[in-house]
Structure formats: C-alpha cells, structure tokens
Chains A and B, each alone.
Chain A
Amino acid sequence: MTVAQAAGKSGALEKYEAVIGIEIHCQLKTVSKMFCGCSTDIDGAAPNSHCCPVCLGLPGVLPTINKAAVEFVIATGFAIEATVASTTRWDRKNYFYPDLPKGYQISQYQLPLAANGRLTFDTSDGPFTVRVNRAHLEEDTGRLIHQDLDGRRVSLIDFNRSGMPLMEIVTEPNIRTAEQARRYAEELRLLMRTIGASDAEMENGQMRVEANVSIRPIGREAFGTRVEVKNMNSMRAVERAIAFEIERQAVAIDAGESIHMETRGWDEGSQSTYHMRPKEEENDYRYFPEPDLPPLLTTPEWLAEIKARLPELPATRRTRYREAYGLSAYDAGVLVNDAAATALFEGALAAGAGVPAKLLANWVTGEYMRLAKGEGSGGSTDPAELAALVKLVAAGAISGTNAKEIFAEHFASGAKVAAIVESRGFRQISDAGALGAAIDTVLAANPAAVADYRAGTLAAIGFLVGQVMKATRGQANAAMVQTALRERLDKV
C-alpha cells in the first residue's frame, strides 16, 4: 500500500488542511552575469570557461549591478501588482559550500525590489489568487558534480553558472492544494516568458520550484511544522510531490509521529519524497548589508519607463480574447498558455481581414496544436495561409475534413493553401445537380440502408452520408448531402 492509499484509507486528508508556500528561482534572460560582464551563454560550454575574478570570488574585486536584471525584476513586480521599492539594498547571505566561492551570496533580504504582489489564475475549483510576499534579485551558485576520483569521494566544480542573475519569488503561505501550487507555477512561468524575463524551462534549471508544506487540523490557526520540498523538475512533479508530502505528513501525524523541520527531495522514480538534510534556521545565514554595493534608488521616471515597456499580460489577453472574440474561458486559456499558438492566432487575425476569430481559435487550439505537438513535428504554419483556409471553411467552399488535410499538407510542406486546393481538387461540391447524381447512385447501390431508414432506424442516414462523401472523395458539402438524402428518403 502506498502512502497515498494509506492516507486515503485513514481519512487523514479530511481532517487536515495543507498550508503551502512556494519559492521560485528564475534565471533572468540577460546576456551578461549579475555582477560582472561574463557571458550567460553557458549551455554546453566547457567548464569554467565563462568566469572572471568577480564570479570566481577572488579577493580584491568589486561587483557592479546589471541594470537589465534589475529591470526584469521591477517588470515582474508590476506584472504581479506588487509594490516596487523606491530604495533597495543588497545583503550578504553567508554560508559555506563549494559552489559558492565567496562564502556568501549577494542577495536582497530586508529591502527587496518588489513586495506584496498577487497572481490570479484558474483552477478546477475556479479562480484562485496567490499572495506574493516578495520578488528579489540575487546571484546563482556554481554547479557541483559529486563523484569518485581515484577512489576518493570528491566534488567537481564548474563556476560557469556562478553569478548568473536569479530572481527569487516567494509567496505567502496561502496556497492550500497541490493543484493550486502547480497552477501558480505554470502561471508564473507564462508571465516570465511573456515579459521576456526568463525562458523558465524547468528541465534545465532556468526555473526551480521549491515548496514549503505543512498541515494542520482543519479549523486550527497555528501552523504545523513545515518541510521544504525540492528537486521537482516538471510542473507535474510539483503537483505530485506536494500531494505526496501532504499525505505523508497526515499519515505520520495520525500514527503519533512528529514532523521534523527538514529538506526533502522529490524522487521521480519512486514518486515519493526522501530526507535530504535537516533545515538550518534562517538566522544562521547571518545576513548583513553588502558593503561593496551602494543602495539602489528607483526614480519614478525609470519605473514609468519600465511599466510602459510591459507587453500585454496573460490575464489581460485572456479577458480580451473572451470579450472581443467571444472565445470560451477554456479556449482563451489554451491559446494564451502557448506562445507559438498566441502568435499564430494574432498573426492570422492581422493577416486575414474578416477571418472569423472564434473559428480561427478552434483551428489554432485544435489542428495546429495537435500537429505542433505531434511526433516529429517539424512543420510550421504561415498565419496568412491559416487565415485563408479558415475563410474558405467559413464560406463553405471546402469541407471540414478536406480543410484538415489541406492544413496538414501546408504544415508539412509549407505549400500555399490555394495551391493545395487546386492541385488536389478540393473545391467543395455544393452544386445540387452534381450532388443529386451521386446521391441517386448511392441510394440505388444500398437498398438495405434505405429500407432500414424507412423502417425507423434513422441512424442509417449516417452510413448513406458517408457513402456519398466517399463517392465524391470528400468534396461534397456534408450538410447539403444530409438534407438532400432526407428529402429523397422521406418522400414515400
């Protein structure tokens, strides 16, 4: 029996409420590091090839603040409706570990760039708002590889990542379910990509999600002992790890055990969390103001400039799609969550005057996303061609089935829609005379189906429609075929 099953059986989940806070680190999309000019283009680079005396923590060097990194955090602050500080400062967070060459990390403790924000998103239970405590700027650490070398246990250090700009975003503990936590992380990821602050790929560590999870009996206000959960490398892992941890704690408490303050890791293989280390108390980091950096003052003019540069944010865009184009909340959400789909939708709207937006949205969220996510999807879609295709469908000039074939061919080869329609003879037959001949042939060839229909098995008409479509190689207007068939069959 798994822990989850045990919790379900014991009914532990009905007695307790989870209290969850999320910390997210995002690598910011600057071209140079946080406090030095080393390139951040370190993917696949030789170890220690993107380092200088500043990010190696050599004595006698001084950090200088990357303006673009500061602006990304301020932009994020505006996007989450936070208060952006007029005065901020840097602090040293002291701890010893080989990935941190200075023995301290430059971070922001007392005066973060942004505070008191919030982010609202949809869940299966309706909209939910996470309160954000703060967003601040800090530097990343180096990367360690633990391994055996000549029979000794050693750590290999690559300082390429040392000093990369990181934004840390910390929520208040007002998240109550694993799903809310996942949706928050997804919405924040979308926000980062929309602003252009971070690519926020979890798989390669550009976005790292950590959760503080505790439970308390329903109705009690005091928090339980919290456990930090790390190593969640996908959105699905975030939800599963938190759900597992809630259940683990419920089962432990019900069994009379106590919860210890600790850091636990998510293990994808066993779908469970495991003890990593006891959690140090916060004041053990001995934060103090960074003497090497002057304070940072944000003028109203600078803030206004950053705010003016913000693109349309996901929440605003979803509302606009619903209100201006009549899309459902679900379709608007699917479109806005996918940057390529959003670009295609906007591009096709701009390229094809008069293209029906709702039908277009169906094509983007349906056929386009299906093909784009499919096996070996190397294809692409020209927004103007999609607009042309959707207009043909809306005008009834080609059937839906044929339109899908045309789209698939355009996606694969890049050929123009008009050229595919011509070369494959995909014009829809809406001519009653031409259809009538095909229908008469089908009726004559299928006396059994005709008899079934007349005997009251009305579904038999579907079979007959199919036969006519087959006879016309899919070019018949299916609605017209159905009407014409009824006319003939209902005539006694």
Chain B
Amino acid sequence: MANLSRADVEHVAHLARLGLTEEELARLEGQLNHILDQYTILTTLDTEHIPPTAQTIELANILREDVVQPSLTADEALANAPERSGGHLVVPAILGGGEGGA
C-alpha cells in the first residue's frame, strides 16, 4: 500500500496552485494512493537489462540552424491578454515567488 499522506496531497496541490476542498483532498488522497499502488506492482518486475527510457519516439538530434524568423507583432502577441498597459501584459502582482530569470 502506497503511503501518500494527506499532507503530501496538500503539498502537491499547493505546488500545482490548485485550491481543493476538504472533500476533493480526501478523494484525491485515495486516488493518488491507488495509482501509486499500480506502480508498486510494476516495481516488482526485473528491469535490470532495460535501459532507462525517457522518450518512446525514435528520433534524436532535431536541431535548427540559428536563423531569425519573423515574430508576431506586439499587438498580435497581446491579442489574448486580459489587460495591457503600454505594450505590456498586466497581471496581479505576485510577491516573493519564482526564479526571476534563472
């Protein structure tokens, strides 16, 4: 039995910026533990001779040359913006989070 606690579920919900009700948290705790249980079954398989796989498509090295292509106009870029000011997109100020350019 996977051992995801209620606190884990709340943490993951916070990271995903999901506001969940008590009821949803309880339901998701059960569902997530159930999913993890399925993976627990997979871990019993012998994968010793299988290389780690992150991609299932048979492609590699799709590169493009360093050539400039036209951009959208600023007007087109902001066409779906809920609010703009002086060519900028406007959003409510978020304090204290993020990586700020890293």
B91 interfacial by beta-carbon distance below 8 Å: yes
Classify the secondary structure of A's interface with B.
Answer: mixed
Q: Are B66 and A67 in contact (CB under 8 A)?
A: yes
Most B Cβ at <10 Å: residue of A94, A143, A144, A276: A144
Asked if A98 meets B102 with Cβ closer than 8 Å, knowing A46-B74, A49-B71, A66-B63, the reply is no
B73 interfacial by beta-carbon distance below 8 Å: yes
Task: Name the residue on B nearest A295 (C-beta).
Answer: B60
Q: Are B72 and A51 in contact (CB under 8 A)?
A: yes
For B91, list chain A residues within 8 Å (CB): 98, 154-155, 157
Q: How far is the CA of A276 from the CA of B95 in the complex (A)?
A: 10
Q: Are A155 and B94 in contact (CB under 8 A)?
A: yes
- Of the candidates A156, A296, A297, the one whose C-beta lies within 8 Å of that of B85 is A156
Most B Cβ at <10 Å: residue of A30, A145, A156: A156
B21 interfacial by beta-carbon distance below 8 Å: no
For B87, list chain A residues within 8 Å (CB): 46-49, 158
- Of the candidates B60, B63, B92, B98, the one whose C-beta lies within 8 Å of that of A100 is B98
Q: How far is the CA of A149 from the CA of B55 in the complex (A)?
A: 46
Cβ < 8 Å to B, chain A residues 1-60 = 23, 25, 30-32, 36-39, 46-53, 56
Smallest Cβ distance from A240 to chain B, in angstroms?
21
Task: Name the residue on B nearest A49 (C-beta).
Answer: B74
For A168, list chain B residues within 8 Å (CB): 102
Report how many residues on chain A are interfacial, defined by Cβ distance under 8 Å: 66
Most A Cβ at <10 Å: residue of B65, B66, B73, B102: B66
Q: How far is the CA of A297 from the CA of B59 in the complex (A)?
A: 10
For B65, list chain A residues within 8 Å (CB): 67-68
Tell me which of A119-127, A283-291, A372-380, A459-467 binds B: A283-291
Q: Are B78 and A89 in contact (CB under 8 A)?
A: no
A210 interfacial by beta-carbon distance below 8 Å: yes
For B67, list chain A residues within 8 Å (CB): 31-32, 37
For B90, list chain A residues within 8 Å (CB): 149, 154-157
Task: Name the residue on A nearest B63 (C-beta).
Answer: A67
A309 interfacial by beta-carbon distance below 8 Å: no
Q: Are B88 and A145 in contact (CB under 8 A)?
A: yes
B27 interfacial by beta-carbon distance below 8 Å: no
Q: Are A38 and B86 in contact (CB under 8 A)?
A: no
Report how many residues on chain B are interfacial, defined by Cβ distance under 8 Å: 40
Q: Are A296 and B71 in contact (CB under 8 A)?
A: no
A96 interfacial by beta-carbon distance below 8 Å: yes
Smallest Cβ distance from B6 to chain A, in angstroms?
18
B35 interfacial by beta-carbon distance below 8 Å: no
Q: Are B72 and A66 in contact (CB under 8 A)?
A: no
For A96, list chain B residues within 8 Å (CB): 17, 97-98
Q: Are B68 and A31 in contact (CB under 8 A)?
A: yes
Q: How far is the CA of A48 from the CA of B88 in the complex (A)?
A: 7
Q: Are A38 and B69 in contact (CB under 8 A)?
A: yes
B7 interfacial by beta-carbon distance below 8 Å: no
For B97, list chain A residues within 8 Å (CB): 95-97, 277
- Of the candidates B55, B63, B86, B89, the one whose C-beta lies within 8 Å of that of A289 is B55
B15 interfacial by beta-carbon distance below 8 Å: yes
B62 interfacial by beta-carbon distance below 8 Å: yes
Smallest Cβ distance from B64 to chain A, in angstroms?
5
A208 interfacial by beta-carbon distance below 8 Å: yes
A205 interfacial by beta-carbon distance below 8 Å: yes
Task: Name the residue on B nearest A71 (C-beta).
Answer: B66
Asked if A64 meets B98 with Cβ closer than 8 Å, knowing A154-B91, A155-B92, the reply is no
- Of the candidates B15, B63, B93, B101, the one whose C-beta lies within 8 Å of that of A154 is B93
Q: Are B54 and A295 in contact (CB under 8 A)?
A: yes
For B17, list chain A residues within 8 Å (CB): 96
Asked if A69 meets B59 with Cβ closer than 8 Å, knowing A95-B98, A100-B98, the reply is no
- Of the candidates B62, B71, B78, the one whose C-beta lies within 8 Å of that of A38 is B71
A99 interfacial by beta-carbon distance below 8 Å: yes
Q: How far is the CA of A56 from the CA of B72 in the complex (A)?
A: 10
Most A Cβ at <10 Å: residue of B68, B71, B89, B96: B71
Task: Name the residue on B nearest A69 (C-beta).
Answer: B66
B19 interfacial by beta-carbon distance below 8 Å: no
For B96, list chain A residues within 8 Å (CB): 276-277
Asked if A158 meets B60 with Cβ closer than 8 Å, knowing A36-B69, A286-B15, the reply is no
A70 interfacial by beta-carbon distance below 8 Å: yes
For B63, list chain A residues within 8 Å (CB): 64-67, 70, 296
Q: Are B71 and A155 in contact (CB under 8 A)?
A: no
Smallest Cβ distance from B52 to chain A, in angstroms?
9
A141 interfacial by beta-carbon distance below 8 Å: yes
A220 interfacial by beta-carbon distance below 8 Å: no
A424 interfacial by beta-carbon distance below 8 Å: no
Q: How far is the CA of A144 from the CA of B97 in the complex (A)?
A: 12
Q: A31-B68, A51-B72, A56-B77 are in contact. List 16 more A-B contacts (CB 8 A).
A: A37-B67, A47-B74, A48-B88, A52-B77, A65-B64, A66-B64, A95-B98, A141-B102, A145-B88, A153-B92, A156-B88, A156-B90, A205-B101, A294-B62, A296-B60, A296-B61
- 18 examples of A-B residue contacts, CB within 8 angstroms: A37-B64, A49-B71, A49-B73, A51-B77, A64-B62, A65-B63, A67-B64, A95-B97, A96-B97, A97-B97, A100-B98, A140-B101, A155-B90, A161-B101, A294-B55, A294-B59, A295-B60, A297-B61
Give the top 8 A-B pairs by smallest Cβ distance, nearest first.
A37-B69, A97-B98, A68-B66, A156-B88, A289-B54, A294-B59, A67-B63, A47-B87
